[in-house]
Amino acid sequence: MSKTLHSDEVVSNVFLFMIAGYETTSTALAYCTYILATKLDIQDKLIKEIHEIKWNNYNNEDIYDIATNLRSLDLFVREVLRMYPITSKGQIRKCNQTTNISGYIIEKDSIIQPDIFSIHYNPNLWGPEDPNLFIPERHEIKRHPIAWMPFGVGPRHCIGMKFALMELKMCLIQLLRQYRILPGDNIEQGFKRQEKIVIQPDAIYVKFEKHSI
């Protein structure tokens, strides 16, 4: 195999990074704002955690470490991605040899797609609290290693995972340092999700109110 990337490989990889790296994170941020606007107690907890840090006293490397380790923010982002996974079609695999898994025969060339919603909402994996409820603290308990798979699993899991988590956290920190996110009109009606390139909401309406201090 050639060790050099040809121009068509460079172009297709740049295209993949644009698709995989943009719509995913921005959609996840939309879900984050929905939860923040509808669960103000959770938002207040995050604002308190973020406001306790003297951000201006740190350089960029310190900020990276601090943002990664904000406990409530980390649990919040994990719970958003559990309840609102961004893609399921993105995790398709093709079976390259007939395989027996726990008595199920998977024929060569079969296409396999995990049902991420059944996994992320499975009470045996995510209980004892109802998986339909938004409870960030459920991520404090050690779960099955692939109970949480918004970024896929295995050697071809999302290469941008760490970057995406950091991007999400930095955006939320910047937003919540300056604004309180409030429900917009008709937010109580919720939203419909459909899977196009990503599983996206039809619309989420929120308002931003600048902090007075």
Q: Which residues pair with residue 193 across a beta bridge?
A: 201
Tokens at residue 52, please? 């306790």
Q: Based on the shown chain and the rule CB under 6 A, indicate whether residue 199 belongs to the binding site for ligand HEM.
A: no
On the CB side of 40, CA atoms within 13 Å amount to: 9
- Examine residue 30 and tell whether it contacts ligand HEM (CB under 6 A): no
Is 15 an interacting residue with respect to ligand HEM (CB under 6 A)?
Answer: no
Is 43 a binder of ligand HEM (CB under 6 A)?
A: no
Q: From CA 211, how far away is CA 209, in angstroms rounded?
A: 6
Report residue 134 as tokens.
């938004």
Pick the piece of the chain touching ligand HEM (CB under 6 A) from 24-32, 65-73, 129-137, 181-189.
Answer: 24-32
| DSSP string across 142-202 | ---TTS--TT--STTS-TTHHHHHHHHHHHHHHHHHHEEEEE-TTGGG---EEESSSEEES
Q: How far is the CB of 167 from ligand HEM (least distance, A)?
A: 6
Task: Give, in degrees to the nearest 5, the angle at Cα 189 between 185 and 191.
Answer: 100
From 38-46, 87-95, 100-108, 202-210, span contacting ligand HEM (CB under 6 A): 87-95
> Alpha helix (H) ranges present in the chain?
7-38, 40-51, 60-68, 71-83, 116-120, 123-126, 161-178
Interface pick for ligand HEM out of 38, 43, 91, 200 (rule CB under 6 A): 91
Phi, psi of 105 (to 5 degrees): -85, 120
User: Of residues 3, 6, 54, 156, which one binds ligand HEM by CB under 6 A?
Assistant: 156
**Is 114 near ligand HEM (CB under 6 A)?**
no
Q: Is 189 exposed, middle or buried (0-12, 13-18, 19+ CB in 10 A)?
A: exposed
Q: How far apart are CB 114 and ligand HEM at their closest, in Å?
A: 9
Number of residues counted as binding ligand HEM (CB under 6 A): 23
The least CB distance from residue 123 to ligand HEM, in Å, is 23
Does 208 participate in binding ligand HEM (rule CB under 6 A)?
Answer: no
Q: Is 158 annotated as a binding residue?
A: yes
Q: What residues make contact with ligand HEM under the rule CB under 6 A? A: 16-17, 20-21, 24-25, 28, 86-87, 90-91, 150-154, 156-160, 163-164
Give the residue ranges of the annotated binding site. 158
Residue ranges of the binding site for heme: 158
